[in-house]
Amino acid sequence: MDRARVGKPIAHTERLIFALDVATRVEALDWVEHLGDSVAFYKIGMELLTSGDYFRVLNELAERGKRVFVDLKFFDVPATVAAAVKGLTRYPVDFCTVHGNHAMVKAAVAVKGPIRLLAVTALTSLDQHDLSDLGFACDPRQLVLSRARAALAAGCDGVVSSGLEAPLLRQEIDHRLIVVCPGIRPISNDDQNLSDDQKRTVDVRQAFINGADYIVVGRPIRTALEPLAAAQAIQQEIADYFK
């Protein structure tokens, strides 16, 4: 998609976000050391939060010149969500995720400062059956589109969405919306051999063809026989696409 290629001035090396889904600071820093210059952007989520070293790791990533994506999916009454997001502005955070309705998102937007706020649309681990169980009487594409429109109207900078829904977002919503796509598998959706909980996935190239600005990759790098080589291969694929 041509608009995805020329839409935003993003360094190619920063389009890959590595999911630092580990339980301890030692593991986190081991990954940062091992991956070196092959990864410039890291996502830290709930697993590391329980280590007690979450914000220490956050600061250490920034000290190493890495960009930081805080993926804690804040969801609570608007005042509590706002307080949590405002607290994050004391740290070197690039992206932060928030869940919830218009009031929650609006409260977060009002205090986000320089942080780019991303609204979660529909988790990539959920398929149509799961969404029906949760009471959503629509297909994932329409749910993602509806939530993305609401997020942009509330002042969010972007959304987290499966790459499968990215084309619809680019077609229907202003291109200024940042689209971050998790559930990336470097092999095709039909042939993937990873045993995990992701259901709505695309490969690296297809994510960017569909309109992603950034991709989040975790297990395909962490479980690779040679993780550094896996990260470098993804970076090469991104560079080749954006030539």
Kindly give, in sequence order, each residue whose CB lies less than 8 Å from that of residue 169, ignoring residues fewer than 6 positions away: 144, 145, 148, 159, 161, 177, 179, 211
Task: Report the distance separating Cα 193 and Cα 89, nearest Å.
Answer: 40
Query: What is the predicted pLDDT for the residue at 2?
Result: 44
Enumerate domains of the chain plus CATH numbers: 2-241 (3.20.20.70)
CB atoms within 10 A of CB 193: 6
pLDDT in tens, 23-48: 999 999 999 999 999 999 999 999 99
Catalytic residue among 43, 73, 86, 112: 73
For the segment 204-229, the average pLDDT, to the nearest whole number, is: 95
Q: Strand runs (DSSP E) across the chain, as ranges?
A: 16-19, 41-44, 67-74, 95-98, 116-120, 158-160, 178-181, 214-217
Residue 184, Cα to own-chain centre: how many angstroms? 10
Query: What is the predicted pLDDT for the residue at 197?
Result: 47
Read off the amino acid at residue 199.
Answer: K
pLDDT in tens, 103-157: 999 999 999 999 999 998 755 444 455 444 444 555 666 777 888 888 889 999 9
Give the residue, 158 or 174, on which the prediction is more confident.
158
Pairing mode, strands 178-181 and 95-98: unpaired
**Residue 213: both structure tokens together:** 């600005």
CA distances from 57 to 24, 68, 114 (A): 9, 10, 20
CA angle 168, 175, 157 (to 5 degrees): 100
Active site residue 8: no
The residues pairing with 18 across neighbouring beta strands, listed in sequence order, are: 42, 217
pLDDT at 170 over 70: yes
First to last CA, the chain: 13
CA torsion through residues 149, 150, 155, 159, sign: negative
Task: Report the distance separating Cα 147 and Cα 160, nearest Å.
Answer: 10
pLDDT in tens, 186-213: 753 344 444 454 444 689 999 999 999 9
pLDDT at 238 over 80: yes
pLDDT in tens, 43-67: 999 999 999 999 999 999 999 999 9
pLDDT at 179 over 70: yes
From the list 206, 94, 203, the residue with the least C-alpha distance to 158 is: 94
